[in-house]
Amino acid sequence: MQEYDIVIIGGGPAGLAAAISAKEKGIDNVLIIEREGVLGGILNQCIHNGFGLHTFKEELTGPEYADRYIKKVLEMKIPYKLNTMVIDLNKDKIITAVNQDDGIIEIKAKAVILAMGCRERPRGALNIPGSRCAGIFTAGTAQKFVNIEGYMPGKEVVVLGSGDIGLIMARRMTLEGAKVKAVVELMPYSSGLKRNIVQCLDDFDIPLKLSHTVIDIKGKDRIEGVTIAKVDENRKPIKGTEEYISCDTLLLSVGLIPENELSRKAEIGISRVTSGPIVNESLETGVEGIFACGNVLHVHDLVDNVSMESHMAGENAARYVKGMNFNNKENAIELIATDGVRYTVPKYINPDNVENFIQVRFIVGNVYKSSYISVYFDDNRKFHIKKRILTPGEMEEVRITKAMLEKHPQCKKIIFKVEEE
Ligand SMILES: Cc1cc2nc3c(=O)[nH]c(=O)nc-3n(C[C@H](O)[C@H](O)[C@H](O)COP(=O)(O)OP(=O)(O)OC[C@H]3O[C@@H](n4cnc5c(N)ncnc54)[C@H](O)[C@@H]3O)c2cc1C
């Protein structure tokens, strides 16, 4: 069995940033395992710009952003295995992987960093009635066809779901000569970034139909059209509002699912809200020495946040290998998300493990205007932050400092909520 100090599963932006920081913290015996033939993860197919505004103060494309990290991994001579799929992980941190050259490999790691990203929800998860004809793709699959393989999935397109991938693909298909007839969104708001709604839909006169859904798919061999309808406040279609739109392609952008099959095999506790591992302030999961970061932990809006978070996971994995124990649950404070806040990452903070501050990340469950994010230490409001707008498409961050924790040594829970004026 091969032995490593730190093994990172996934060579996307999360895995790359985690590997670099672990190495910077003095751990040389690090290995990245990636199932694709190249490093960089999903960024390789995101050829639009808008990446890196926070990290590099520049607007980069996805491949350019990934390239900066890949170059660093090469410069630092961090070992990686490509075309290698991790098929098993257990709580003793034994990893089983497979590739064409070595067959099945077993690796024992002192620490593991989960960085497997997420996958798209498919049609099967939606139960849309209608025939099972060709021409229905997830937006990310269509993105791979157009940007990497050089194929056009179709000419007349309807997009279901207004998450960022759907918005980006509405623009991409338009630029490649297709007619995007509508982006249809079940909720009364888009779950995408505001800047993507403006730059991908408004700038190209693509209609966004909020509170609508696809109720039927027509077509035998190939899709010929979809019927959409308005939905009520319970998201049920309203009779009499049906509208038929002819199209040869339906793109689905209806949510991402963190890839946590390996985490479950290692008996790691998974949050029912994020579908990612429950972690403490050090991004350590419930299994000692296994850390998680990036989209496998919770779906991020910006890759800059992924890189920042993953840098911390790498640093903490290095500290763990050097003997630090983060899993001391006795003094842990529970973070509670309520009243509009959907979850928090992390879920627990042990004040003893906090060096300066902890960045708590979360999303809200609705659109709120002129509201406050309030933070309570037990029953006392510690501070609140005024927000002009809060939307489910944009991740929020709140900093809990060491000084705050020291002022409240008896604190048992920290509560995050939205308070309206
Ligand atoms: C279409 C699209 C558009 C986006 N647009 C923007 C944008 O404009 N601006 C922005 O800032 N962000 C954008 N993002 C978000 C950003 O790309 C992601 O937040 C980021 O890529 C997540 O990084 P990650 O490393 O967690 O996941 P990924 O990039 O998905 O990487 C995970 C890696 O793990 C590998 N892996 C998974 N399972 C295994 C296994 N069992 N064994 C081995 N390897 C495995 C995968 O092959 C993959 O390479 C976009 C994302 C998408 C999908």
pLDDT tens for 97-116 read 999 999 999 999 999 999 99
CA-to-CA distance for 85 and 405, rounded, in angstroms?
A: 41
pLDDT reported for residue 125: 78
Contact present, 276 and 285 (Cβ < 8 Å): no
Pairing, β 380-390 against β 212-218: unpaired
CA-to-CA distance for 41 and 142, rounded, in angstroms?
A: 16
Contact present, 134 and 223 (Cβ < 8 Å): yes
At 110, the amino acid letter reads K
Burial of 184 (0-12, 13-18, 19+ CB in 10 A): buried
User: Which atom of ligand 1 is nearest the CA belonging to 139?
Assistant: 1
Nearest CA to ligand 1 atom 10: 302
Nearest CA to ligand 1 atom 11: 302
pLDDT reported for residue 127: 78
Residue 342: count other Cβ atoms within 10 Å of its Cβ.
Answer: 16
Nearest CA to ligand 1 atom 49: 41
Within 6 A (CB) of ligand 1 lie 9-15, 33-36, 41-43, 46, 48, 50-51, 85-86, 115-117, 140, 143, 164-165, 168, 259, 262, 294-296, 300, 302-304, 306
Low-confidence stretches of the chain (pLDDT beneath 50):
none
Probe residue for ligand 1, chosen from 86, 116, 173, 193 as the CB with the greatest number of ligand atoms within 8 Å = 116
Nearest CA to ligand 1 atom 17: 43
Supply the angle between the helices 62-75 and 303-321 in degrees, to the nearest 10: 20
For ligand 1, the distance from its centroid to the CA atom of residue 328, given in whole angstroms, is: 31
For ligand 1, the distance from its centroid to the CA atom of residue 216, given in whole angstroms, is: 31
pLDDT reported for residue 371: 96
Nearest CA to ligand 1 atom 9: 51
- Residues 6 or more apart whose CB falls under 8 angstroms from that of 262 comprise 9, 86, 88, 89, 114, 116
- The whole-angstrom distance between residue 157's C-alpha and the CA centroid of its chain comes to 26
pTM to 2 decimal places = 0.94
Residue 389: count other Cβ atoms within 10 Å of its Cβ.
Answer: 11
For ligand 1, the distance from its centroid to the CA atom of residue 119, given in whole angstroms, is: 9
Residue among 21, 14, 20 nearest 42 (CA):
14
User: Which atom of ligand 1 is nearest the CA belonging to 140?
Assistant: 1
Burial of 388 (0-12, 13-18, 19+ CB in 10 A): exposed
